[in-house]
Structure 1
Amino acid sequence: MFGLTKLRHLFLCVGAVHAPAAGSAQEAAGVCALEAAVPVEIAPPGSDLELWTMDGRRLTLSGLEPPSGAAARESLQRFFAERLRSGRLVFLAAPTATPDRWGAAAAGLFVEGEGSDAPLVSLAEAAIGAGLARFRPDPAAFACRNGLLAAEEQARRRKLGLWTSGEYHILDAGRPETLFGKKGMVLVEGVVGAIGEAGGSLYLNFGPRRGDFAVVIWKRNLETFARAGTSPRMLTGRRVRVRGLIDTAFGPRMEILSPAQIELLLGDERVGSSERR
């Protein structure tokens, strides 16, 4: 049985959990929209970290990049199993209408927080904040990115979970030699030195030499950045953090498809800071 305070909180946060009308908060905030979420039962997660509803829908937790190592994945599996165990409240927000090529719909899950009267929390944000996963900049999570990035930053500063391992360190764009041989999603920080253009691509160059790190953005995608309030052409001289896959065929490069892959860094966020390593 759930306490009166918990039920009152749920009534306030999820009072209208039936099918939302067009233009609702669910459409505006997607996987972040707790107020438009619906109750759901989730099957116990297996070692593959797949999430399935009890009625047979396959889900991918939007905004969460699972770790690659076996031990780290086992820790995340235990975290999921504890928060999704039978008898605990779980709410599903905005599963995408069209699943990905593996048949999974991007969605947000909200679960009970720690403590009898704790509010519901984003499962992705809780896992990232515990250092068990990183932020994944998929389009469905763009509206949630501030909370997810803040959770990742806190875990990194506190050196929790993944952030105790050198495998996940933020890489220095000014040292392109360290980018070769990297696999999977990586985070790279540096100052954009100049903007270049060639054919249908825009280049954010982090150094003056041919072999220096560069970010590639297809011009056809610039409208996506403009709609998000981001102008790559205005990043000259700015310190940024980018996340994605490294391509070393023509020097260390990273193709950016979404504005969620770029963070504009302010204040004391510097590549040389030991607290960020």
Structure 2
Amino acid sequence: MPGQAQDPASGGRGAACLAASAFLHPFPALLAALIGAILPQDRAAAAGMGASCRAGEFREDSLAGIGVRGELILSSGRRAVLSDLRWSDEPMIEAQARSWLESFRGAPLLLRERGPEDRWGRRRIDALVGEAEPVDLAGGLIAAGLAYADAGEADGLCRSALRGLEEAPRAAGRGVWAEGTIAATDVARLARRSGRFAVVEGRILAIGERPARTYLDFVRRGEQGLTVTVQKRTWRSLAEHGLSAATLRGRLVRIRGMIETGRGPVIDLVGAEDIEVVEGERALRR
């Protein structure tokens, strides 16, 4: 039945469930409790961000269908995409994600919009579904390994807590993490992902600061591997987060972004949230 689908990550609703019940009933106290349960985890992330993370009021709608790459077609006639989520470009994973969302067709949604419309006239939204055990749609997909937590074209992650939901599927090698995180020295895998989004891990061996941009190198001079370019503005943003040449050199990091191929594989770092220091975590899965 609509609204009763199971969380694909665990057979239950797991991490996608929120500590609120009957949230679609029009009782102000319940709605206030729900808002209180969600907002604390994104206030810090949204602080200082631009219009893309500005949240509107909660309202009700329902899911009428699923469009291309996870576009949500709402019964109100509006079109939306889930905020802080990157849809997989792998056909099998995309089909699983679509099937899970389709299971909520016709179910009442509680949603709020974030920022202005995108170039296709869609709004980015946070969406909850289900009355007895509300499920966060973005959280459910990420916890199942069916999508990445990613800001996309927004200024940054509005709900940084979603990034933590990647840990379990990554450790289990599930969904988008089935082949493990790509090693910064794995030129063959990097080449296969050229022109596509990827998450790459490696140890920064050298950092070259230039007037316009900074270069993070993961291999020694003359060897083939990933180079990350950081524009001047982004490099300043990293410094504000305590990430500099002094703190990053020699560290194991996780980079996410679009892979381009020039003389070798390159990722242009978009924002500070696209680099994570993972020193101390388990060794990279091969």
TM-score band w.r.t. shorter chain: 0.7 to 0.9
Give the counterpart of 1:82 among 80, 103, 107.
103
Q: Summarize deviations over 1:9-40 as a string: whole Å, max 9, x none.
A: 4452148xxxxxxxx99965999999953323
CA separation in 2, counterparts of 1:186 and 1:25?
Answer: 26
| Contact in 2 for aligned 1:13/1:34 (Cα 8 Å) | no
Residue 204 (structure 2) aligns with: 192
Note closer, same or farther for the CA distance 1:239–1:25 as it changes in structure 2 (3 Å cut).
closer
- Please say if 1:107 is aligned against 2:118: no
Note closer, same or farther for the CA distance 1:102–1:31 as it changes in structure 2 (3 Å cut).
closer
TM-score (norm 2): 0.74
Residue 171 (structure 1) aligns with: 182
| Contact in 1 for aligned 2:63/2:108 (Cα 8 Å) | no
Note closer, same or farther for the CA distance 1:230–1:107 as it changes in structure 2 (3 Å cut).
farther
Alignment partner of 2:76: what SS? coil
Q: Summarize deviations over 1:152-198 as a string: whole Å, max 9, x none.
A: 2211222333333x3xx311113345422323111111111121023
Superposition pairs for residues 30-69 of structure 1, below 5 Å? 37-46=58-67, 48-69=69-90
User: Where do 5+ consecutive residues of structure 1 fail to align?
Assistant: 16-23
| Contact in 2 for aligned 1:42/1:51 (Cα 8 Å) | yes
Note closer, same or farther for the CA distance 1:219–1:25 as it changes in structure 2 (3 Å cut).
closer
Note closer, same or farther for the CA distance 1:218–1:26 as it changes in structure 2 (3 Å cut).
closer
Give the counterpart of 1:236 among 249, 267, 270.
249
Could you tell me which amino acid in structure 2 is paired with residue 76 of structure 1?
A
Could you tell me which amino acid in structure 1 is paired with residue 193 of structure 2?
K
Note closer, same or farther for the CA distance 1:136–1:25 as it changes in structure 2 (3 Å cut).
closer
Note closer, same or farther for the CA distance 1:140–1:196 as it changes in structure 2 (3 Å cut).
closer
Residue 276 (structure 2) aligns with: 263
Superposition pairs for residues 24-35 of structure 1, below 5 Å? 28=47
Give the counterpart of 1:123 among 137, 148, 151.
137
CA separation in 1, counterparts of 2:126 and 2:280?
Answer: 31
- Please say if 1:144 is aligned against 2:159: yes
| Contact in 2 for aligned 1:212/1:251 (Cα 8 Å) | yes
Q: Summarize deviations over 1:127-162 as a string: whole Å, max 9, x none.
A: 1111212222333552423x3222222112223333
Alignment partner of 1:92: what SS? strand
Q: Summarize deviations over 1:69-111 as a string: whole Å, max 9, x none.
A: 333222111111223x22x3412223212x2222222222222
| Contact in 1 for aligned 2:52/2:115 (Cα 8 Å) | no
- Please say if 1:225 is aligned against 2:231: no
CA separation in 1, counterparts of 2:88 and 2:229?
Answer: 25
Residue 111 (structure 2) aligns with: 92
TM-score (norm 1): 0.76
Q: Which moved more, 1:51-60 or 1:200-209?
A: 51-60
Alignment partner of 1:157: what SS? helix
User: Where do 5+ consecutive residues of structure 2 fail to align?
Assistant: 4-19, 24-28, 37-42
Q: Which structure shows the bigger proportion of residues in helix conformation?
A: 1
Aligned residues: 251
CA separation in 2, counterparts of 1:131 and 1:151?
Answer: 9
Q: CA deviation at 1:255?
A: 0.5
Note closer, same or farther for the CA distance 1:34–1:159 as it changes in structure 2 (3 Å cut).
farther
